Amino acid sequence: MQEESAEEFTYRTEYKKKSIRSYVIRAGRMTEGQRRAFDNYWGEYGLSLFDGPLEPRAVFGREAPLVLEIGFGMGDSLLAMAEAEPDKDFIGIEVHPPGVGRLINNAGKLGLKNLRVYMADAVDVLNDCIADGSLDRFQLYFPDPWHKKKHHKRRIVQSEFVRLICAKLKAGGLLHMATDWENYAEHMLEVLEAESLLENTAGKNRYSERPEFRPETKFERRGQRLGHGVWDLLYQRL
Ligand SMILES: C[S@@+](CC[C@H](N)C(=O)[O-])C[C@H]1O[C@@H](n2cnc3c(N)ncnc32)[C@H](O)[C@@H]1O
């Protein structure tokens, strides 16, 4: 039987066509282990856009602070956070099938109970599944920087996107972003400072230190090898 590519796999499952996307589905086949993870663990960890609005209490079987991360990549930092903060429930969203496979495989081996994942476009998940005022923390780490000016419209951080995140956060909830691309950091700062529902926890127009709860991510380490800096932005929803 011919092996299915990552692109075909995503199209077959949850991928929706959009005019402007914040990502490209990267070529790259899944390892056997990642593929098997879908058979073994998708039932336990996978959430579907088609299930409609998420009911965290029903999904996790408890009432706990809810953290949502977009674009977890290969998932190791999200896994580490879910392990380190067992009193919180974590929702990860990623379109890259090998990363989803790796995360649910590792979560399954550890028997983690406080993590679920969507393999879909995060904007669709936010609009269709996540209730307003339901998130205690929102995380976006090293989103695709889209370096070229003509591609800046593909950056996920735009005013409209930030407005959507604000609607999903509880009052007092945290919004946390990080990037290793200075021009994107400046753009994030400008967009976040302009949002009247947010207050910069580091003071107006300032970047934050990396908070203890955020482990280094894979993409961050790659940037460090290339000599990039890192900029964290931490805001509170008023
Ligand atoms: C540059 S990688 C960073 C991955 C990880 N956060 C890290 O720091 O190692 C950005 C990730 O965001 C994902 N992504 C981009 N736009 C997305 C969207 N709209 N919905 C879900 N995932 C998205 C991409 O597939 C990619 O894996």
pLDDT tens, the chain, 238 aa long: 456 666 555 545 544 445 688 998 876 788 999 999 999 999 999 999 999 999 999 999 999 999 999 999 999 999 999 999 999 999 999 999 999 999 999 999 999 999 999 999 999 999 999 999 999 999 999 999 999 999 999 999 999 999 999 999 999 999 999 999 999 999 999 999 999 999 999 999 999 999 999 999 999 999 999 999 999 999 999 9
Nearest C-alpha neighbor of 65 from the set 91, 83, 92: 91
Tokens of 231: 């900029």
* Neighbouring C-alpha atoms within 13 Å toward the C-beta of 143: 26
- Would you state the pLDDT for residue 71? 98
38 lines ligand 1 (CB under 6 A): no
- Would you state the pLDDT for residue 215? 98
Tokens of 126: 């936010």
- Would you state the pLDDT for residue 127? 96
Q: Ligand 1 centre from 95 Cα, in Å?
A: 7
CA–CA separation, 200 and 13 (whole Å): 38
69 lines ligand 1 (CB under 6 A): no
Give the DSSP H or E segment for 93.
Answer: strand 89-93
Calculate the alpha carbon distances from 29 to 7, 129, 161 in Å: 9, 29, 31
Q: Which residue has the tokens 């009911």?
A: 55
Tokens of 48: 């579907």
Ligand 1 site-directed mutation target among 34, 72, 117, most atoms within 8 Å of CB: 72
> Cβ of 191: how many Cβ atoms within 10 Å?
20
Q: Ligand 1 centre from 60 Cα, in Å?
A: 24
Contact 176, 201 (CB under 8 A): no
What is the dihedral sign for C-alpha 168, 171, 174, 175? positive
Q: Give me the count of residues in the chain.
A: 238
Atom nearest to 69 CA in ligand 1:
6
CATH number belonging to the domain at 6-237, selected among 3.40.50.2020, 3.40.50.1100, 3.40.50.150, 3.40.50.1370: 3.40.50.150
Nearest C-alpha neighbor of 7 from the set 96, 100, 81, 91: 96
96 lines ligand 1 (CB under 6 A): yes
**Catalytic residue from among 89, 132, 144, 232:** 144
Q: Ligand 1 centre from 125 Cα, in Å?
A: 14
Q: Ligand 1 centre from 1 Cα, in Å?
A: 30
CA–CA separation, 16 and 97 (whole Å): 14
Tokens of 122: 């995060």
Say whether 132 is catalytic: no
What is the three-class DSSP state of 236?
Answer: strand
Nearest C-alpha neighbor of 237 from the set 186, 177, 165, 178: 165
Dihedral angle computed from the Cα positions of residues 105, 226, 21 and 75, in that order, rounded to the nearest 10 degrees: 10
Summarize the annotated binding site for S-adenosyl-L-methionine as residue ranges.
Answer: 69, 94, 121, 144
Q: Which residue has the tokens 């593909």?
A: 154
